[in-house]
Amino acid sequence: MSRSKKTRKGGENSPKLQPRVKKQDRAVATGKRKDSGNKSGSRHNESLILAQAPQQQAAKKKDPRHGSKKPIALAIPAAVVTDKAAQPKVKQAKLTDEQKLLKLEEDPRLNQLLDMLEEGRDLNDVDQKWLDQQLSKIEALMIKLGISDDMDNDAPSSPAKSLSDDELFDKFESGADLLKDYQDKF
């Protein structure tokens, strides 16, 4: 069999190329496109551009930002700082009457003023008023809680302390007998 070379022509079934058109017959669409940007040197000739287009000038003056244009002071005034710093205090849980009483009794200023009175010194008017207020608060809390000064006086002469050693030992032994009786039942 004889050898045949391949050709680049597709034959009758191959896709056809568009015929060549002469330069004169071509459409004008291939010409230079219209400029879409600013003219050259526009930033240097602003006065000329503004004079030519007064409508564009009004559009430029309008602020493109949304919202309020009111100026805001970046530095905080000193008076505002002290007021706001005092306001955000943490709320503490309410104290019971017993806790209030303990807090009042442990007050160092109250103790100092009471010591000064015991020594026989005179207090100034401000300290005396404060001391009277604190003592009245303590007294009101003690009445509210049902605590009186008479109970404090009775405490040292309690019957448990007045028992002698022999009486305490007898009480202990009788307790042992009660324990044995309890154990026998169960």
Summarised one tens digit per residue, pLDDT across range 107-122 is: 888 888 888 888 888 8
Parts of the chain with a pLDDT under 70: 1, 27-33, 39, 42, 53-61, 63, 79-90, 149-162
Question: Cα separation of 148 and 124, whole Å?
Answer: 29
Six-digit token string for 175 = 């307790």
pLDDT at 159: 47
In whole angstroms, give the CA distance from residue 131 to residue 126: 9
Distance CA 154, CA 69 (A): 78
Task: Compute the distance between CA of residue 92 and CA of residue 152 in angstroms, rounded to an integer.
Answer: 32
Check residue 32 and give its pLDDT.
67
Predicted local distance difference test score (pLDDT) of residue 58: 61
pLDDT value at position 102?
86
Rounded CA separation 151/145 (Å): 13
User: What does the pLDDT read at residue 26?
Assistant: 74
